[in-house]
Structure 1
Amino acid sequence: MLVLRTSPASPFGRKVKIAAYELGLMERIEIVPADTTDPKDVLRTQNPLGKIPTLVLEDGETLFDSRVVVDYLDHLAGGGRLIPAGSKERFAQLRLQALADGICDAALLQVYEGRFRAPEMRNAAWIENQAGKVNRALAALEPAPPAWPERPRIGEIALACALGYLDLRHEGKWRADHPKLVAWLDDFAAKVPSFETTRFKG
């Protein structure tokens, strides 16, 4: 049995879970919650960075971060399903995944600034810098949201998770200025049941 260390609200963990569902591998994975702030959590021995998601293999070896874990799952399922084999499509998907993951990184850092730093210590310019990354990425995607075939690939999955995280932690403020991306996400949610299955409901 594979073990996925993650937390329910993590957009990166959600990306891995959706990937596993789409690849038909979810029944082979046990989800074990992890607390990245707890020094006693064994996560820190499984992943020296103490970050999620981390995948524990059946032989005890571990894989991280989410991009490596998804690549492994795609390989386990025969390869080329979420990450295309052809160079042009492959790098287009990896680039989209990187952009979507960057949205998540910047959005998370804004959340952490508010959650872990006292109000008088918060850096407004730094927060604005992170918000700018999100805004520029969304502006780049809005004119032509990515088209996808019958089943989503890793780029589309990552983007859906990024937008879902903006809904969760940033009150969906992105929606007002990005109607095409809103329609794209609605279509994704309608066609990919695992998107709702993995939604954080806390």
Structure 2
Amino acid sequence: MKIVGTQTSPFVRKVRVFAIEKNINVDYVVDRPSSPGSRVAEFNPLGKIPVLVLDDGEVVFDSVVIVDYLEGVKPEPQLIPTEFRGRIAVRRWEALADGIVDAVVNISHQYGPMNDAEKHAAWIPNQEAKIERGLSLIERTIAGREWLHGAGFTLADIAAGYALAYVDYALPRFERRRRFPGLSAYSERLMTRPSFRTTVPSAS
């Protein structure tokens, strides 16, 4: 199997961290969809990353589906609970993290209603508010706890980890560390894991 994507994509990082935590041997192929000669669109007609290419040539996308696939391939260690309420709780954290990342991308790539000055003026504050509310929920929940869900490390922590790191990486002016000091110990705890240390994006 191989994961196709870029170092800086938080969604690619999600599936790479997940695979490492699962001890699943997956090759990593760097391919930026916007680069000439990119093969991403051959694997995913939407031209989006990450893509998981299986040994038989079958492809799996996007990140939410990929982590489901990897969990099914190797159920242990369990990162997504099988019990219904627990599974929904963990997937909710994943949805929150993905939403935080989407808001960061909207700001850093200057997406929004560019042809409407009034709407555009409110666009960035609205995106920043999403980030702030999301980080506030993580900070409140992790207070006094080691992990976000239950007694062990799960996809919820992977999700929070890549979201926190991406805010720092792509939106340093947000000053996440200063504004949310309650997340510092949690971030440091996540970074002691080899899965997070080995997937830190380069500056390029």
| TM-score category, normalised to shorter length | 0.7 to 0.9
- 1:114-153 equivalent positions in 2, closer than 5 A: 123-145=120-142, 147-148=146-147, 151-153=152-154
1:89 counterpart = 2:91: no
TM-superposed deviation, 1:141:
2.0
TM-superposed deviation, 1:29:
1.4
Aligned equivalents of 2:43, 2:7: Cα separation in 1:
19
Please tell me the residue identity of whatever aligns with 1:29: V
Correspondence for 2:33 among 22, 32, 36? 36
TM-superposed deviation, 1:161:
0.4
Question: How many residues are paired up?
Answer: 193
- 1:29-178 equivalent positions in 2, closer than 5 A: 29-38=26-35, 40-78=37-75, 81-113=78-110, 123-145=120-142, 147-148=146-147, 151-171=152-172, 173-178=175-180
Aligned partner of 1:179 in structure 2 is: 181
What TM-score comes out, normalization by structure 1 length?
0.87
Aligned partner of 1:11 in structure 2 is: 10
| Percentage identity across paired residues of the two chains | 37
Aligned partner of 1:200 in structure 2 is: 201
- The 1:37/1:100 distance shift into structure 2, 3 A limit, reads same
Could you say what secondary structure the match of 1:144 adopts? helix
Aligned equivalents of 1:61, 1:128: Cα separation in 2:
41
Could you say what secondary structure the match of 1:152 adopts? coil
TM-superposed deviation, 1:80:
7.1
- The 1:147/1:91 distance shift into structure 2, 3 A limit, reads farther
Could you say what secondary structure the match of 1:50 adopts? coil
Post-superposition Cα deviations, 1:119-143, rounded to whole Å, max 9, x if no partner, equal x9x9332222211111111122222
- The 1:80/1:194 distance shift into structure 2, 3 A limit, reads closer
Aligned equivalents of 1:124, 1:113: Cα separation in 2:
12
For structure 2, the 5+ residue unaligned runs are: none
Please tell me the residue identity of whatever aligns with 2:134: A
TM-superposed deviation, 1:53:
0.6
Structure 1 segments (4+ residues) deviating >3 Å: none
TM-superposed deviation, 1:77:
0.8
TM-superposed deviation, 1:147:
4.1
Aligned equivalents of 1:151, 1:37: Cα separation in 2:
38
Q: CA RMSD in A?
A: 2.2
